[in-house]
Amino acid sequence: MKLPNEVQAFLESKQFSKNTKANYLYDLRHLMAFFEDQELSDESLKLYKKSLGELSATAQRRKISSTNQYLSYLYQQKKIDSFFKMTQVAAAPSASNPRTVAEIQDFSSFYKPLTVTSPGHFLALVILEFGLNFSEIQQLRWEDFNWNFKVLTIEKSGIKRVLPIDDRFALMVKQINNADELFTKSRQFLYLELKKYTPITAKALREQYILRQVAEGKTIYELAQNLGLLTIYTLEKYYR
């Protein structure tokens, strides 16, 4: 069985940013080139994995993730008769490049009823739940939160991101009627209000969002899209 070339259809089925789509296209073109003279089978996928051996572990994991998503799409669309999945490469620790990524922390104490007198509490949850920085928060409008469909829509540099709203977060903030006044405040104001609520910085909270997304199985491309990043390089350390 030949590997069908449905790359464009696959990309069009995803709500990828322009940059994320380009990254997937690069990886899948590499895949299609390898299988130009190969039949699709478990054995040939092992050979493809072996051909990636000279790449960094991060690059290997990225290409394998792209391949698995594409193979899953082909199977769901009945373009191939069998379900194939490549095994990921192990994330080997490096003595010369020790892991400096933070660990996931317990923020259950943050999930208690909000009050209008503590905007810092709301800010902390927004960063923790959506990975936003202060400049992105300043661009928000209350109407961007769609409570019926449980999604937050963010537009930055012409790129639209649609992020799911967790039920727990929705329950927490349902008593807030409008946060537009807070969104118009200065960066310094947001910084001080967050500091009043918690000593944990906005950067650290954003990293916790990243760690949670990685733990939930988000690919590096999906995470970059959620964060509105134009490249994946700053995220590679979380996938080693």
- Confidence band for 28, pLDDT divided at 50, 70 and 90: very high
Q: How much is the average pLDDT of 81-102?
A: 70
Residue owning tokens 């790359």: 7
Residue 45 clears pLDDT 70, i.e. is over it: yes
Give yes or no for a contact between 71 and 27, defined as CB atoms under 8 angstroms apart. Answer: no
CATH numbers and ranges of domains, the chain: 7-76 (no CATH), 108-239 (1.10.443.10)
- The answer to whether residues 46 and 64 touch, using CB atoms and an 8 Å cutoff, is no
Q: How far apart are CA 135 and CA 216, in angstroms?
A: 26
Q: Is the pLDDT assigned to residue 95 strictly greater than 50?
A: no
Residue 155: its H or E element: strand 151-156
Residue 14 scores a pLDDT above 70: yes
* 145/114: higher pLDDT: 145
Residue 161: which residues within 8 A CB-CB, separation 6 or more? 17, 153, 154, 155, 225, 226, 228
* Res. 228 pLDDT band, cuts 50 70 90: confident
The predicted model gives 164-185 an average pLDDT of 88
Percentage of the chain modeled with pLDDT above 70 = 94
Percentage of the residues of the chain whose pLDDT score is greater than 90? 55
pLDDT (0 to 100) of residue 74: 94
pTM over the 0.75 mark: no
Q: Which residues of 159-191 are buried (b: 16+ CB within 10 A; e: fewer)?
A: eebebebeeebeebbeeeeebeebbebeeeebb
What residues are labeled active site? 156, 206, 238
Among all chains, which residue has been given the structure tokens 């910084």? 191
Output the six-digit token pair for 91.
């994330």
Measured CA to CA, the distance from residue 153 to residue 176 in angstroms comes to 18
Lowest mean pLDDT among 21-35, 48-62, 127-141: 48-62
Rounded CA gap, 34 and 32, in Å?
5
Please say whether the beta carbons of 124 and 205 come within 8 A: yes
